[in-house]
C-alpha cells in the first residue's frame, strides 16, 4: 500500500551533500500493486542453480598444490556454497564429472576417503577466469569501493561482503588476491560485536555518482527529480489509479545513495525513493544485476535504512522483480535485462556461461551412464538428479530428428523415504547434441530396510 502525503517534503537533491527543504503538494493516493510472475526473468535465475557452488569449489580446489582435495577439506567451506543441508557434498560433486574427477585416498586408519581433482577442461576454464579477473582488476576494486561508500562508515564486516562477493564478481579469496594489493585504499577494522571487516580509507568524490545520475537527462539533473526506468511483466494490468500514483512518485526529489540521509523523514515518500535509489545502485554494482534477498537483509544499519526496508521490492515491481525460483527469493533489476538477455555483459559473466555449459554437459553425460565410476557405491550410482531446466512441468524442446532410447527408472535421493517413477528419453539429435527429456515424475512412498537405515547412520564422509 502506497501513500503520497499532502504537505511539506524535505530531502536532498542529487549531487549535493547538504540538505535543503522543498515544498511539494501531493494528493493522498492508496495503491496496491500485486506480484506477477515473470517467466523470462525466472529462467535467468533458475538457469544458474548450482553455478555459484561449482565456481567456488573450483577456486578452492585449484588453490591446492595438487589441484585436488579430500572431501572433508571441502566440507569446511560448505557455508558459502549455498547448498541444501540434506545434500551430501560428495553427491553434489559427482553431479558434474566434466569438472570434478573423483578418486580415493586412505586416511590414517586405512579408510577410503573420496577426493576430487579438477578435470583438464575445468583447469583451463579456471585459468580463463583468472585472466578475466586480472584484466578487470581495477573494475572489481571500484565496485568494492562503491559498495563501502554506500555505507555509513565506509566499512562492512567480511561476513557481509562474503555474501555479496559472487554477485560483485570478487574472487573467492579476494582478501588475499585483491584487498592486500591495495593497502592505500583498504584497511582492516574490528566492529563492536568483535567481527573483523574492511574499511575504505578515503572518500572518492569521483566514485560518488550513481548509475541513475550518470544516465539521467540534463533536464532531470537540473531539477533534481530523477526518474527510475520502469517496466512491467507482460499482462501486469496497471490500473489508471496506479499510473497516476507512479507518475507523481517519479516527480519526487531524488536523493543520491552516496549522500547522508540523516535529515530525511523516514515517513515520507522522498525517503522511500531514496531507499529505491540505494538498491538500484547496489544491484547495478553486481555483474548480473541481481542478488538473493537474504544477502541484503542485514544491511539496514550500514546503509542507514528504516525498519522493513525490503518492502520496497514489492512496492516497486516496475523497478525490481522478485523471483521465487530455486527455493529462495532473488531480487532482479528489471532494466538490466531485455527479453531475458543481460544488457551489459562483464567478461566474468561470459566465463560463467562456459562453466554452465560444461556443467550441463557433464550432468547429461552422467545421466546417460557415460561417467560411471566403478568405485562408487551402488547407492550413489542409482541416484539421478533432475535439474530445474528438465522439470516435467515445463515443455521439453526436442527436435523432430531425434534418434534415442527410452527407459523407466525408479530413483531415490539418499536419505529420502520416497522414490520417483521417471520415464526418461535419452539420445542424440540430428545436430549431434545430447539431450535428456523427463516424461513423467511421480513420488510414491517406499519402505527402507532397517539394515540400510543403519548403514546410512554409519556413513562418515561427504
User: What DSSP string runs through 144-206?
Assistant: HHHHHHTSTTSEEEHHHHHHHHHHHT--TTHHHHTGGG-TTTEEEEE-TTS-EEEEESS--TT
Whole-number pLDDT of residue 110: 84
Please identify which residue in the block is written with the cell numbers 555459484. 52
The grid cell for 362 is 557433464
Contact 88, 47 (CB under 8 A): no
Contact 352, 246 (CB under 8 A): no
Whole-number pLDDT of residue 372: 66
415: left (phi over 0), alpha (psi -120 to 50) or beta: left
Between the alpha carbon of residue 66 and those of residues 114, 139, 190, the distances in Å are 15, 31, 35
Between the alpha carbon of residue 124 and those of residues 99, 118, 129, 196, 355, the distances in Å are 11, 10, 9, 35, 11
| Nearest alpha carbon to residue 100 among 70, 131, 133, 65 | 70
Class of domain 394-462: mainly beta
| Nearest alpha carbon to residue 407 among 420, 394, 422 | 422
Per-residue pLDDT of the chain (462 residues; tens, 9 = 90+): 333 333 333 333 344 433 334 433 343 345 667 888 999 999 999 877 799 999 999 999 999 988 899 999 999 999 889 888 889 999 999 999 999 999 999 888 888 999 999 999 999 999 999 999 999 999 999 999 999 999 999 999 999 999 999 999 999 999 999 999 999 999 999 999 999 999 999 999 999 999 999 999 998 888 889 999 999 888 787 788 888 888 999 999 999 999 999 888 888 889 999 999 999 999 999 999 999 999 998 899 999 998 888 889 988 999 999 999 988 999 999 999 999 999 999 999 999 999 999 999 998 888 887 776 544 443 333 333 333 333 334 443 433 333 333 344 444 444 444 444 444 444 444 444 444 444 444 443 444 344 444 444 444 344
Distance between CA 251 and CA 461 in Å, rounded?
59
Show me where the domains of the chain are located: 394-462
Which residues are 408's β-sheet partners?
A: 423
Rounded to two decimals, the pTM is 0.75
- Helix (H) / strand (E) containing 241: helix 240-250
- Helix (H) / strand (E) containing 351: helix 347-367
Whole-number pLDDT of residue 35: 85
Amino acid at each position: 500500500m502506497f501513500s503520497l502525503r499532502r504537505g511539506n517534503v524535505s530531502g536532498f537533491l542529487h549531487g549535493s551533500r547538504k540538505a535543503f527543504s522543498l515544498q511539494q503538494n501531493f494528493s493522498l493516493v492508496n495503491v496496491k500493486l500485486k506480484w506477477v510472475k515473470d517467466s523470462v526473468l525466472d529462467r535467468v535465475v533458475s538457469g544458474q542453480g548450482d553455478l555459484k557452488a561449482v565456481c567456488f569449489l573450483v577456486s578452492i580446489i585449484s588453490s591446492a598444490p595438487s589441484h585436488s582435495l579430500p572431501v572433508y577439506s571441502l566440507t569446511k567451506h560448505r557455508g558459502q556454497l549455498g547448498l541444501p543441508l540434506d545434500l551430501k557434498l560428495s553427491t553434489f560433486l559427482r553431479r558434474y564429472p566434466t569438472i570434478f574427477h573423483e578418486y580415493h585416498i586412505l586416511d590414517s586408519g586405512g579408510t577410503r576417503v573420496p577426493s576430487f581433482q579438477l578435470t583438464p577442461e575445468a583447469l583451463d576454464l579456471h585459468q580463463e577466469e583468472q585472466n578475466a579477473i586480472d584484466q578487470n582488476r581495477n573494475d572489481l576494486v571500484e565496485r568494492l569501493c562503491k559498495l563501502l561508500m554506500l555505507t555509513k562508515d565506509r566499512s562492512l564486516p567480511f561476513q557481509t561482503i562474503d555474501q555479496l562477493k559472487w554477485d560483485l564478481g570478487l574472487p573467492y579469496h579476494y582478501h588475499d588476491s585483491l584487498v592486500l594489493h591495495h593497502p592505500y585504499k583498504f584497511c582492516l577494522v574490528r566492529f563492536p560485536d568483535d567481527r573483523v571487516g574492511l574499511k575504505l580509507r578515503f572518500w572518492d568524490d569521483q566514485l560518488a555518482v550513481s548509475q541513475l545520475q550518470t544516465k539521467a537527462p540534463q533536464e532531470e539533473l537540473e531539477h533534481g527529480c530523477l526518474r527510475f526506468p520502469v517496466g512491467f511483466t507482460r499482462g501486469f494490468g496497471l490500473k489508471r489509479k496506479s499510473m497516476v500514483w507512479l507518475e507523481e512518485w517519479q516527480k519526487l526529489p531524488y536523493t543520491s545513495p552516496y549522500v547522508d540521509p540523516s535529515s530525511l523523514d523516514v515517513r515520507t515518500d522522498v525517503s522511500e525513493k531514496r531507499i529505491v535509489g540505494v538498491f538500484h545502485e547496489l544491484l547495478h554494482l553486481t555483474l548480473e544485476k541481481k542478488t538473493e534477498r537474504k544477502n541484503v537483509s542485514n544491511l539496514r544499519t550500514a546503509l542507514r535504512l528504516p525498519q522493513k526496508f525490503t518492502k520496497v521490492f514489492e512496492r516497486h515491481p516496475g523497478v525490481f522483480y522478485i523471483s521465487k525460483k530455486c527455493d529462495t527469493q532473488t531480487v532482479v533489476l528489471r532494466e538490466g535485462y531485455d527479453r531475458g538477455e543481460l544488457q551489459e555483459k562483464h567478461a566474468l559473466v561470459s566465463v560463467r556461461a562456459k562453466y554452465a555449459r560444461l556443467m550441463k554437459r557433464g550432468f547429461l553425460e552422467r545421466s546417460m551412464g557415460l561417467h560411471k565410476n566403478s568405485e562408487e557405491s551402488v547407492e550413489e550410482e542409482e541416484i539421478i538428479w533432475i535439474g530445474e531446466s528438465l522439470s516435467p512441468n515445463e515443455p521439453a524442446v526436442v527436435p523432430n530428428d531425434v534418434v534415442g532410447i527410452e527407459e523407466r527408472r525408479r530413483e531415490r535421493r539418499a536419505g529420502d523415504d520416497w522414490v520417483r517413477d521417471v520415464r526418461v528419453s535419452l539420445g542424440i539429435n540430428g545436430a549431434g547434441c545430447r539431450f535428456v527429456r523427463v516424461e513423467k515424475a511421480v513420488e510414491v512412498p517406499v519402505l527402507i530396510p532397517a539394515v540400510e537405515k543403519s548403514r546410512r547412520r554409519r556413513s562418515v564422509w561427504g
